[in-house]
Amino acid sequence: MTMAHVPAVRRQSIRVALAATGVVALVYLAISAGVVAFATRDLTSQIDQRLMQAFGRLPPGDQVPGGAPGDAGGTGGSPSLGRDPGRPFGPPTLIWTVSASGTVTAIGSQTPALPADLTTVGAPQDATIDGTSVRIAGQQVGSVYVIAAQETQQVADAQQTIILGVLLIAPFLLGFVFVGATIVGRRVAEPIEAAHRRQLEFTADASHELRTPLSVIEAHTSLALAQDREAAWYRNAFTKVDRESRRMRKLLEDMLWLARFDAAAAPPPSGPIDLGVLASQAVDRFGAVAETRHLQLTVHAPSQPVVIAASAELVDRLVGVLVDNACKYSPDGGAVDVTVGVESGRAFVAVDDAGPGIPEEERARIFDRFHRSVTTAGGTGGAGLGLAIGDAIVRATSGRWGIGTSPAGGARFTVSWGRASVG
């Protein structure tokens, strides 16, 4: 991945996190407004109920006390009409009586004067008396009209408490959402980043690998066209062009196989296959190659079938890749052994060669595309895609790799699978 792409991906994840945080903020604001509205309505309804209860506590008609000086609740030592018996420590209820002649009398010495525009109030409503917000209602009680009011400070206090709680919680909630969305966004983007990085690396490595054979072909064709030469020179030039063309064709075929395998929605269907049969077929295919280099190519398989559930096409290509690599890296006159067996309840195929082996520090990267070991890269003609193809097959068939040293000092590649029942 280019350095310019990394900040772009990070900026995109931050933008997504900001958008998610904004959505959560709007939802949180809407919920908070709903809570404030619900609490306001509920508390206001409670005040209205207490106002209606106050009318019920008043004595009927002409017995409504006029309110002696110094008595906040009435005269004659009667119970306080301004207090709710169910809430002795709650706010007092203010009471006024309006006679038929229109005379307004305040019940209790602490009750303020009733504004003239409120003497005919009926259903509960909001009002302001002496600069204090109240809830006020009126009702006919006997021969007088009674008006009751109660301050709404508790409603304002509840609103302030809720709003303060919302403001205190909001930064933590939104911060948590932003950080969480950023982390999730980056984790989701990691596979995309990795795929983009592999694509760029694959394109760069493929261009590099193709440049060499194309340069060789171009150089020989240019020299051939520059002047007339002897037949032996042309034969030698065509031989090199043919070798580079075959190398380029093999590289393109491997690249096309990997591209198709990566794009496939699912691997080929699995079925029971005998590893011993596949290994024997692979050895037969590479028999001529081994003979030309005087290699001793042998296969060791038990008499009983070693069956696994996998795609025969993929496993056959995997064994072919391993045998091909072993033949390439083994010196002339060396030995390549293919072994099929069962160990710890798992079926395996192992390929041993007599080559230089794979150093410990190289084993973590040998399955990277276009990667070749520093001890084996020269002279093999490979592009470093064989083991990448093999690794893709092993992962697709749920196999396990094993990398070690062969008895001859070369490399030993082992792949194992869970056994399948023969039936």
CA distance 88 to 91: 8
CA distance 267 to 282: 21
Secondary structure of residue 144 in the 3-state scheme? strand
> Residue 74 above 50 pLDDT?
no
- Tell me the sheet residues that pair with 151: 134
pLDDT band of residue 377 (cuts 50, 70, 90) is very low
Q: Please write the tens of the pLDDT for every residue from 106-117.
A: 887 778 888 888
Identity at 220, one-letter amino acid code: H
Element (H, E) at 195: helix 153-226
Do 257 and 249 meet the contact criterion of CB atoms below 8 Å apart? no
**What is the predicted pLDDT for the residue at 259?**
78
Q: Please write the tens of the pLDDT for every residue from 301-354.
A: 888 888 888 888 889 989 988 998 888 888 888 899 999 999 888 999 999 998
Do 210 and 253 meet the contact criterion of CB atoms below 8 Å apart? no
Is the full-model pTM beyond 0.85?
no
Identity at 115, one-letter amino acid code: P
DSSP code of 336?
E
- When pLDDT is averaged across residues 37-63 and rounded to a whole number, the result is 80
Q: Which residues contact 326 (CB under 8 A, 6 or more apart)?
A: 336, 351, 352, 353, 355, 410, 411, 413
Secondary structure of residue 355 in the 3-state scheme? coil
**What is the predicted pLDDT for the residue at 77?**
37
Residue 112 tokens read as 């303020």
Sign of CA dihedral 366, 372, 374, 376: positive
Do 318 and 394 meet the contact criterion of CB atoms below 8 Å apart? yes
Element (H, E) at 54: helix 5-57
Residue 46's nearest CA partner among 166, 164, 158 is: 158
Residue 24 tokens read as 């959560």
Alpha-carbon 88 to chain mean position: 57
Q: Please write the tens of the pLDDT for every residue from 219-257.
A: 888 888 888 888 898 899 889 888 888 888 888 888 888
Q: Average per-residue pLDDT in the chain?
A: 80
> Residue 73 above 60 pLDDT?
no
Buried b (16+ CB within 10 A) or exposed e, 336-356: bbbbbbeeeeebbbbbbbbbe
Do 147 and 95 meet the contact criterion of CB atoms below 8 Å apart? yes
> What domains are there in the chain, each with its CATH number?
271-418 (3.30.565.10)
